[in-house]
Structures are given as structure tokens and as C-alpha cells.
Amino acid sequence: MRFDPREMYRWCMAPPRALRGGIDWEGRGPDRALSKLTEALVSLGGTLMLNSQATDLVMENKHCIGVRGKVAGKETVWGARNCVIADGGFQSDRELVERHIAPDFDALFQRGAGTSRGDGLKMAVAAGASLTDMNRFYGHLLCADARFNDGLWPFPQLDAVATAGIVINGDGARVADEGRSGVYLTNALASVPADRGLFAIFDSAIWQGPGKSDRVSPNPWIEKAGGTVYRADTLEALAQLIGAPPAELTRTVDQYHRAMHAGTLRELPVPRSEKIKPCRIEAAPYMAISLIPGITYTMGGIAIDEAARVLGKDGRPIPGLFAAGASTGGIEGGNAAGYIGGLIKAGTFGLIAAEHAAERLDKRAPTIESQGASTGMKMHSPSTLSAPPKPQGLDRYPLIRATLRHGQRAAYAIGATAFVSSASLAWNSLGFASLLIATACAVALSFAILSYTELLRFITELLMPE
């Protein structure tokens, strides 16, 4: 279904999360999808082993032939001609995060399950795999109160107000480019010393505009969930509330405004891009929220090729070893911390890995031509079959389709009919006054039908983006 009016949310898993902050995954789209995938795996003869841990890849002559691990604490070896690493990145491993992502692991907030510790990546490296750049991650800015308030993560996120306004440290100085993207800003702030705090500084205009732009938006969900939003009538008073030097915060905002007016934001001591429109901070009350970078998954990882095969340090595939999802790198990240979507990467390369593993086992799904050759029967391609196609989209709902297609014309026609009928019936007794009554009836009836049609169109476009 459509999760949000914005194009990037045109196709999302249903049902979506509720319109509120905090953890909300049980019974939602991703949870149901995993349940369905588990049912499909088991129904096809597969085994899902819980309470288990893989520890090493079994290698023989530079081929991966299985996995060592533990099941309920007992050492186990699984032999396999193909292994797929898909354990979701290294964002919860202190040593790897501090080596590649941020100097202080504790300055980041785990915005996911907290179970991805890079085990697959470590096993792949031990087997001779090469890695991509490892210094970027996908995440969003959160209210720092999320450390002790589960109602403030993984949503609402604060990217919208932080990128519209400015981000300062406890000394009142800007520390990062707010104008590229929320994911970029989150990455940049992960490397900023935050011993005295990080704050988004904005005003009431930003709070009422970008602050309400997300589906689970900062305004009003931060405060509804118990988060702290600082407000003051002057910048000096706001600085005192957050513990920053009043003179420095005032100087920072004045310098920012002068650069906006002169068109020299890129020449500031900390340059500001304008991919996201900067806003002035001048409409009292002035506002601030304490920030913490939230990390969801890492963008760098195991190097793979277009067939999801793990590449060795010589650039050649390691036979029998595949990887998919956030365990891998090379597609996202870079200077802009480019993000394409974790589910897209996982789903696409998970399928690709499965297809190529099946090829190695010679268990590819048979084609129509190969079925015909093996049975001696004449096979037909799907395009030549005579069975009628199943209705799709609005074809399944002819009344809704007709209303959307003809509702506007019907409203005008019914309104005109109502006018003529009302005027004719009342003319003999009311004369010209009947025209006023007929006009009012016609307008009211047409407006009601048009409103119903528009409401139906809105709901349909939300639930059926096609």
C-alpha cells in the first residue's frame, strides 16, 4: 500500500506502522512478511534453526563447503555446497563500529534489534573475502531522550527539523553540513565529539512546517511520547536552557543568516549545502531538541559481484559462498552516504544468490521449453494461453472504478437535474424564489457527490498506488 503521499513511499508493506512514536512491529507488514516466508520455507521442506549460531565457514581448497556453529550450545557442522551470509551488518559490534564508523560506540543509538554484530563479515574475512568501504551507515537523528524512553525510537526521527535549521554542539557552534540529507547528517554527527551534547536549533515556523512533514512527525509526537523540546522567546534564553554560551549561539545564528542573505552558505566555516532548503531561525519561540545519531544498519561490508558471489582479495568469486543484504557493501554509502533501502538490497540479492546457488546444484526452476522437451508435449508460453487474466487493480472493484471515472460528470448532471426538478415543482407556489431554492439544492447535492468522489479517490490512491 501507499504509506505516505510522498513518491518514495508509494509501495510499502501493509499494514503500516501506527501513527505514533515508539516500537511498533508486531503484526505489521515486515513481521507478517517474515511469518509468511517462514511458512513457505517449512512447507517446502526447509528447516529454520533458532537458538543457533554460526561461528566459522568450512573451507576446502578455497571452496566453501559448509558452516560450523552451535545449536543450543552444542558444536555442530553443517555440510553444504552453497552458503549465503545474510546476518545484517555490524552495527552492534563495538570494535568494528569504532574502527570504521564512529570514535565512540556509545554515542550512537541502536535503532534496530541490536543483534547484528558482524559475525558473517568476520567469517567471510577469515575465508579470504575482500571488503568494501566500511565507513557509512543508514540511520536517522533521534531525540537523545530515546536512551531511556522507548516511545522515541525508531520513530519519530528528527531529520526534517535538523536539516531545515542548524545543528550545534554544546559550545554553540555548527558542526556539520545540514543541507545534504538526513542520512548524511546522521553519519556526519556520528563522528562529532558529543560530550557536551548535540542540538537541533530551529524556530516555530520550522516546527509548524518541516516539523510536521513526516508520517510520524516530530511535531507533535516527540512531546506526546514524553520527549523534551526546549522553548524560549530569545536565542540567549534558549542557550541557557540547553547549557550553551548565549553569545556564541547568537553569533552562530547571525552568521548563518548573513550567509543565507548573501548566498555564501558554502563559504561558512562549516559549509552548508542547499540540496535541502535552509530556513531562517527568527520566529519565536526559538526551539531546540537534544540529538543522538541512530544507526539502523551498516552500508559497507562483504564485496560481492552481480551474482551475489563473495569476492576474494584477488577479485575472483569464492566458490560456494554468497552474501546478501546489509552484510554486503558497494551499492550504498560513498561521500553522500547514499541510501537505496535495506529491504531492496536484501530482497534483490537474496533472490539472486538463491538463483545462482540453484544453478550450481542444477536445480534451477524448469523453463517452459525444457518441460516440453522432457515430456514430449507441446508447451505454450503464458502469452498464448487462452485462460482469461485475473482482474487487477480497480478492475476488481467495478463500482469504485465507475465512481472515480464518472463521479465528477455525475455530480454536475445530478445537480442540474435537481435544479430543474426543484424549480418545476415549486414554481407555481413560490415563483422566482423557487430558483433560489433549486440552486441551493443543486449546489449542495453536487458538492456532496464531488466530496465523496474526492474522498474515495484519496483512499484509493493511498491503498492502491497504481
pLDDT digits (tens, 9 = 90+) for 328-354: 999 999 999 999 988 889 999 999 999
Binned at pLDDT 50, 70 and 90, residue 11 comes out as confident
pLDDT at 366 over 80: no
pTM, entire model: 0.80
Separation between Cα atoms, residue 14 and residue 455, nearest integer Å? 21
3-state secondary structure of 65: strand
Separation between Cα atoms, residue 264 and residue 256, nearest integer Å? 9
State the pLDDT at residue 280.
Answer: 97
CA 252, distance to chain mean position in Å, is 32
pLDDT at 389 over 70: no
Cell numbers for 107, please give them: 554515542
State the pLDDT at residue 461.
Answer: 73
Tell which wins on pLDDT, 2 or 251: 251
Binned at pLDDT 50, 70 and 90, residue 310 comes out as very high
Separation between Cα atoms, residue 134 and residue 332, nearest integer Å? 10
Cis peptide before 156 (omega within 30 of 0): yes
Q: Are the C-beta atoms of 281 and 183 separated by less than 8 Å? A: no
In this structure, how many other beta carbons lie within 10 angstroms of the beta carbon of residue 275?
11
Separation between Cα atoms, residue 19 and residue 426, nearest integer Å? 50
Q: Average pLDDT for residues 114-132, to the nearest whole number?
A: 96
As a whole-number percent, the residues of the chain with pLDDT over 90 amount to 70
Q: Are the C-beta atoms of 296 and 88 separated by less than 8 Å? A: no
- Looking at every residue in the chain, the average pLDDT score rounds to 90
pLDDT at 466 over 70: no
Q: Are the C-beta atoms of 322 and 310 separated by less than 8 Å? A: yes
- Please write the tens of the pLDDT for every residue from 279-297: 999 999 999 999 999 999 9
Binned at pLDDT 50, 70 and 90, residue 367 comes out as very low
State the pLDDT at residue 390.
Answer: 63
Cis peptide before 269 (omega within 30 of 0): no
Separation between Cα atoms, residue 301 and residue 140, nearest integer Å? 20
Q: Which residues of 49-66 are buried (b: 16+ CB within 10 A; e: fewer)?
A: eeeeebeebbbeeeebbb
Separation between Cα atoms, residue 166 and residue 289, nearest integer Å? 11
Whether the CA torsion 222, 223, 228, 231 is positive or negative: it is positive
Q: Where are the beta strands (DSSP E) in 384-433?
A: none
Binned at pLDDT 50, 70 and 90, residue 373 comes out as very low
Q: Average pLDDT for residues 182-205, to the nearest whole number?
A: 95
pLDDT at 210 over 50: yes
Binned at pLDDT 50, 70 and 90, residue 190 comes out as very high
| Secondary structure letter of residue 17 according to DSSP | P
3-state secondary structure of 335: coil
pLDDT at 84 over 90: yes
Tell me which H or E stretch contains 95.
helix 94-100
Alpha carbon separation from 316 to 148, 200, 226, 235, 343 (Å, rounded): 47, 46, 53, 58, 27
Binned at pLDDT 50, 70 and 90, residue 5 comes out as low
